[in-house]
Amino acid sequence: MDIRALGYLAIGAVDVPGWSAFASEVLGVMTDTVASGDLLLRTDDRPYRIRIRPSDTEQIDGVGWEVAGAAALEAAASELENAGIAVGRDPQLARERRVTDLVAFVAPDGTQHELFWGAELDYTPFISPAGTSGFVTGALGLGHVVLVTEAVDEASRFYMDVMGFRLSDTMTLSGTRVVFLHCNGRHHSLALGGGRGAALAHFMLEVATVDDVGCALDRAADHGVRIRQSLGRHTNDQMLSFYAATPSGFSVEYGWGARVIDDADWTPTETTRGSYWGHRRPPRPADS
């Protein structure tokens, strides 16, 4: 399967107005609300990279993976079916996702994924409402997602053997195992962390400058956003980042300066330390 990049993330959320304010005022991304009530978050020249549907529950609607074209999508759909995974086709959903065609399926870990090709591109310049200079996307995709799953190694086998992700490295810290996977030069577009149930742990947005990170950290403080992990620098992808709580409860990692890797000279390692410095977890307030 020839997955090129993480294309989009679609979620259902209870507090969509909260998301709108959080996205524009803290993350510095452009927002738009469509007739259905869905909130679109734009970080580059695509109509959206994150779609938030008003919902009674917090959930992942679809993690969208971009493939090379129509033939690649057909080949991928066949590979999924050969692996015993049912694939769904929905032209209405493709229109909603602003892509030419897609297939939707549920991975063995319970995560709803979509494979697509032919993303709409309107070439409108990205202008941040909060002064963020820009987000690093392009061939590296939207950023990354980290999923919680009960069986990390079994789940990662599916993502590698069927979906074609390559192993970046693994980490076991405080008894929690995390497997980092890549599909392009971004060190990881997908990671799987051990935990109960199946859920989104966090997604990551990478900004263009270190000052973009600092300014976002200031805005988070100004808006009373809870910081889940302080500013720090990760070892494996070398990302300088902080983690903040989103209105959906999961975190967003907001970072800069990650390495770009090359399969020609990459070998997986077992990381025993998650960060060079920082990424400390502040004590939880007594009322939460």
Nearer to Fe ion, 73 or 244 (CB): 244
Q: State the minimum distance, in angstroms, from the CB of residue 101 to Fe ion.
A: 30
204 lies in the binding site for Fe ion (CB under 5 A): yes
Nearer to Fe ion, 52 or 205 (CB): 205
Query: Among 25-33, 122-130, 163-171, 249-257, which window interacts with Fe ion (CB under 5 A)?
Result: 249-257
Q: Which of 243, 157, 245 is nearest to 205 (CA)?
A: 243
- DSSP state string for 90-129: -HHHHHHHTEEEEEEEE-TTS-EEEEEEEE----PPP--T
Q: State the minimum distance, in angstroms, from the CB of residue 202 to Fe ion.
A: 6
Q: State the minimum distance, in angstroms, from the CB of residue 143 to Fe ion.
A: 8
Query: Among 84-92, 102-110, 176-184, 204-212, which window interacts with Fe ion (CB under 5 A)?
Result: 204-212
Nearer to Fe ion, 104 or 204 (CB): 204
Nearer to Fe ion, 199 or 204 (CB): 204
Under DSSP, is residue 137 helix (H, G, I), strand (E, B) or coil? coil
The residue type of 204 is M
Q: State the minimum distance, in angstroms, from the CB of residue 48 to Fe ion.
A: 21
Q: Which of 61, 169, 212, 253 binds Fe ion (CB under 5 A)?
A: 253
Query: Among 29-37, 69-77, 153-161, 200-208, which window interacts with Fe ion (CB under 5 A)?
Result: 200-208
Tokens standing for residue 247: 């209105």
Under DSSP, is residue 185 helix (H, G, I), strand (E, B) or coil? coil
Residues in contact with Fe ion, counted by CB under 5 A, come to a total of 2
Residue with the closest Cβ to Fe ion?
Answer: 253
199 lies in the binding site for Fe ion (CB under 5 A): no
The four Cα atoms 236, 199, 141, 222 give a dihedral, to 10 degrees, of -80
252 lies in the binding site for Fe ion (CB under 5 A): no
Q: Burial code of 69-107, b = ≥16 C-beta within 10 A, e = fewer?
A: eeebbeebbebbeeeebebeeeeebbebbbbebbbbbeb
Q: Which pairing describes strands 3-13 and 50-54: parallel, antiparallel, or unpaired?
A: parallel
Tokens standing for residue 97: 């996702």
Rule CB under 5 A: which residues touch Fe ion? 204, 253
